[in-house]
Each structure stands twice: as C-alpha cells, then as structure tokens.
Amino acid sequence: MLVEDGVVSWVGSGPLPAGARTGYVVDCGRWGVAIPCLYNAHTHAAMSLLRGFHDEDELHVWLGRMWYVEKRLDEETAYAASKLSAIEMAIGGTCGFMDMYFFPEAAARAARELGLRARVGPVIMGDVDPLRAVEEADRFASRLLGDPLVGPVFNVHSIYASPLEAVEEAARRALEKRVPFHIHASETRREVYEAKKRYSVFPVELLHRLGALHRYSVLVHMGWAASWELELVREAGASMVHCPASNMKLATAGHFPLYEAQESGINVALGTDGPASNNTLDMLREARLAVLLQRHSYWDTRVGARHVLRAATEGSARAMALPRGAGRLEPGAPGDLAVLDLSRPGLQPVRSDNLLSAIVYAASATDTAYTVVAGRPVYTPEQRQRLIEEAEELAERLNRFLEKIGEGADTTPPCSPRAACRGD
Ligand SMILES: [Zn+2]
C-alpha cells in the first residue's frame, strides 16, 4: 500500500507503480496486518482523570462524585488528562475521536500534539443561557476552520441536562456548517419516562420535533429507543453510536438495536464513552464487547465481527464527518491505518480465513504496532518508550490534582460553557 500526500494512492501486490517515491516504510513481516484505522465516535477524553474513581457506585451516586471533581477542574488538568487519553488511543490503533467535554481547547491541543484526528467543542449543559451557549460553541467552531485534523462538533449533553432551545439551535447550526451534532439520547429508562411525562413523546421523537434529527446528528447510547424512533433516525440519515461497555458498567441496560439499524441503512458507529465509565479507550475490546452484548440480547448470532468492525471504522468516520473514504483502505481514502502484530500466542493460529475473528474476538489495542494518520506515523515501535514515559508523568500530575482537591459529592451538574452560565 502506498500513501502519498496523506492519501492512499495504491493498494496491491507486486512492485510499486512506476514513479512511486518511498518514504517511511512499514514492513508487516510475517504477522503484521494493516487494518483501516479505528475511530472512537464518543469520548470524554479528559475523564481519564477519573478512571478507577468510585467504580463500584450506582449511576447517580457516581455522577455526584464526578461532578464534585468536574466543578474544580482547570484547563491544565483537562489538558494532561486529554493527553493521557490521546496517547492511549494513538498507541492502540485509534486514529481519531469525537469528544464531548469541558475545556475543548485542551482536547484539541492533545490531539494535535499526537497527530490524531479529533472532533471537539464545548459541551452545552446545566443552567446556561441557550443562545449564548450555542454562540460560544459556534465561535469555538469557527476557530478550527482550516485545521486539517481537528474539527468542530456541536456538543449538547442531552435533552434532560441541557435546555431544549440549545438542542434546537445547536442542531440547526451543525447542519448549516456540516458539522456533527452530538448528543446522548435514550440512554436510560428514566430519560424515556421523563420525556414522555414532560413532553408526551419519547426522546428521539422530541429531537425530531425540535428539528434536531438530520444527517449530521449523532445519537449516543440509544438503548431504549422504540422501533418508530429508529424509523425517524433512518429518514433523517442520522448516526447512532453504540457504547456497550459503558452501558453495561453503569447498568443502564436496554438494547442498542445494532442489527436493525445497520440493516435498515442507519449509520452505526462505535465509541468507548469516557475512561471513567468504561474504563479503557481500547476500540478492539469495545468491538468484541459489542458483538457479545448483541448476541446476549438477541439470543442469536446475527451480529458478527464484520458488523462491529464496520461500525468502528467506516461507521464512526461517517458520524464524525471525516473526509470521504475514511475507514476504508482503498485508493483515494485518507492515509489512516493501524498495523496489528498478530504474533502473540493468544491470537494464534492465525490464517487468512480467520483473520477477522482474530482481530475482533482475540486482539486488543495492545497488539497495535503502528498507527498512521494522514500518512504520518503517530505511533511506531521506536516511539513507544517515549510515549509510555510521558503517560506516566501525566498520570502523576492527575493524581496530584485529585489529592489537592480532596473528595466530595455534588448534587447538581456543572454548567458549561462557563461564559454562558446564568449563575455567573
Ligand atoms: Zn458519554
């Protein structure tokens, strides 16, 4: 495979095409396999700060603990945590992520330093002036124009934690700017129940009524959506993101209708959610969990390795509005790829007929040997030691921060973006 000027220009066997220049050469050897890069379509990257933090608590207790820390978070700590996550993703075969968190500039900086693709923007939630909040998000989005790898996303937390006017306006601007509109939707039974009680409709129906369903809309979780809501998603051409580990860990239950969605032509993406509710950003483990959870829910094997690998690559790329062809390895596609080393005993015996099984059911992010974004190697065996050492330093900074602020619980969510908070 040849990647020139950031784009795949040739894939084949035998000699390189005449006139091809060679630069950085990756020799896959006997057990190396190149795959289209993985994209994590739903993260809160800076929540690596809260990895392993009150893991055994039930959702609402857990949230109170998170909010206590998040209300004290500063930009430098958000940067250190985002950088730790960006390193984890780069060394794990993930070329890009779509992030929803406070201090989006911190995530952008971390992604740029690693050379990853990212979609970032302030999250709109809490007691904010909706129009000022969307204005802030729009200003942030404009600042990213022209950046080849880091682009904007309009992040509205949810219909229950964000003002509905913000949902409406952010979705409208996202469509106008052709930028993802990213929202948690139909995650818990409580959300569905409250929507029905307050608005007489289900969450996705409400989004539809607000004009927030369109081809740039990205609905995360969707564990409790009704069949007629799926039809609305399909008609709008919107995407859905499956986050199986987070749903299981936070015991939100429900069932993400992956098979029906893909069969009906809905774009399905895969995400890990934040490192506090997962606790890893390993997209191969997420793909494996997705198949297993789907089979467990359907009581049959209709969802297989190919469905989830498609979601983790092409599906996520489309949800993130990445350049055309992202998630595929073919001429004209962006030069984003990962090389896995399948020599480990736990992956053997590997053959050409069971390659996909090895990748989805047995491999994990730690089997990544190279990660290449837009033709640029962002992770290679030579870089490994330096990145591991940097991650250790970042983790120490995070632990010092947690020690400094102490422990506590807060009953109200943080407000974001700050400039639009009414309390201020
Ligand atoms: Zn989330």
Whole-model pTM? 0.97
Report how far ligand 1's centroid is from the alpha carbon of 28 (Å): 36
User: What average pLDDT does this structure show over 78-102?
Assistant: 98
Ligand 1 centroid distance, CA of 39 (Å): 15
Q: What per-residue confidence (pLDDT) applies to 67?
A: 93
What are the structural domains, with CATH classification, of the chain? 34-324+378-420 (3.20.20.140)
Q: Helices (DSSP H) in 6-90: which residue ranges?
A: 59-70, 75-90
- Residue 50's nearest CA partner among 296, 286, 398 is 398
Contact in structure between 317 and 327 (CB atoms under 8 Å): yes
Could you read off the pLDDT of 166-204 as tens digits, one per residue?
999 999 999 999 999 999 999 999 999 999 999 999 999
- Cα 43 to ligand 1 centroid, rounded to whole Å: 6
If you measure from the C-alpha of residue 42 to the centroid of ligand 1, how many angstroms do you get, rounded to a whole number? 6
- The pLDDT tens digits for 219-232 are 999 999 999 999 99
- Give the end-to-end CA distance of the chain in Å, rounded to a whole number: 55
How far apart CA 424 and CA 277 sit, in angstroms, is: 30
Task: Examine the pLDDT at 213 and tell me if it is beyond 80.
Answer: yes
Which residues have C-beta within 8 Å of that of residue 2, sequence separation ≥ 6? 8, 9, 10, 11, 16, 17, 20
- What tokens appear for 138 in the block? 């729009």
Dump pLDDT digits (tens) for 227-268.
999 999 999 999 999 999 999 998 888 999 999 999 999 999
Ligand 1 centroid, distance to 378 Cα (angstroms): 26
pLDDT of 58 over the 80 cut = no
Neighbours of ion ligand 1 (CB under 5 A): 273
Confidence (pLDDT) at 78: 98
Distance 96 CA to ligand 1 centre (A): 16
Q: How many whole angstroms from 184 Cα to the centroid of ligand 1?
A: 6
59 burial via Cβ count (<10 Å: 0-12, 13-18, 19+) = middle
pLDDT score recorded for residue 424: 53
Predicted pLDDT at 167: 98
Mean pLDDT of the chain: 96
Across 107-116, average pLDDT: 98
Please give the distance, rounded to the nearest whole angstrom, from the Cα atom of residue 236 to the centre of ligand 1.
22
Distances (CA, A) of 221 to 77, 212, 256, 323, 411: 27, 16, 7, 24, 24
Mean of the pLDDT values across residues 81-96?
A: 98
Q: How far is the CA of 23 from the centre of ligand 1 (A)?
A: 39
Give the distance (Å) from ligand 1 centre to CA of residue 349: 37
Percent of the chain residues past pLDDT 70, beyond the cut: 100
